[in-house]
Amino acid sequence: EAGVAQSPRYKIIEKRQSVAFWCNPISGHATLYWYQQILGQGPKLLIQFQNNGVVDDSQLPKDRFSAERLKGVDSTLKIQPAKLEDSAVYLCASSLDRGDEAFFGQGTRLTVV
């Protein structure tokens, strides 16, 4: 079974630039999550989708971060403009439904310089 796919694997940008990350969840998974993991910390939930609807974006910095899952499958997370403190690994995860085991992708390592 294919896992959660994320791209790119690594990204280096200058502050104030924009960046986008892509996630393809496991086929058939209704729930999709984006997490931010700063070095030395546990993952922090940014946004959770149920199909193509947002169910929790309380920790998403909405002045600069946006995410969409238009057709209820793939998702993109965008940062515009990026700040130095956005340097982190961005993890995408999916689960069959809410409350089911979440499977994580390898993440995108973002470095803002």
Partner 1 sequence: GESVGLHLPTLSVQEGDNSIINCAYSNSASDYFIWYKQESGKGPQFIIDIRSNMDKRQGQRVTVLLNKTVKHLSLQIAATQPGDSAVYFCAETISGGYQKVTFGTGTKLQVIP
Residues that bind partner 1 (CB under 8 A): 4, 37, 39-45, 48, 50, 55-56, 89, 91, 93, 98-99, 101-107, 109
Q: Closest CB to partner 1 among 81 and 89?
A: 89
Smallest CA-to-CA distance from 73 within 5, 8, 3, 26 is with: 26
Q: Closest CB to partner 1 among 16 and 100?
A: 100
Q: Is 86 helix (H, G, I), strand (E, B) or coil?
A: helix
- Minimum CB separation of residue 50 from partner 1 in Å reads 8
Q: What does the angle CA 6 – CA 10 – CA 13 come to, to the nearest 5 degrees? A: 120
Q: Is 85 helix (H, G, I), strand (E, B) or coil?
A: helix
How far, rounded to the nearest angstrom, does the alpha carbon of residue 17 sit from its chain's CA centroid?
A: 18
- Minimum CB separation of residue 11 from partner 1 in Å reads 13
Element (H, E) at 10: strand 10-13
- Minimum CB separation of residue 104 from partner 1 in Å reads 3
Q: Closest CB to partner 1 among 82 and 93?
A: 93
- Minimum CB separation of residue 68 from partner 1 in Å reads 18
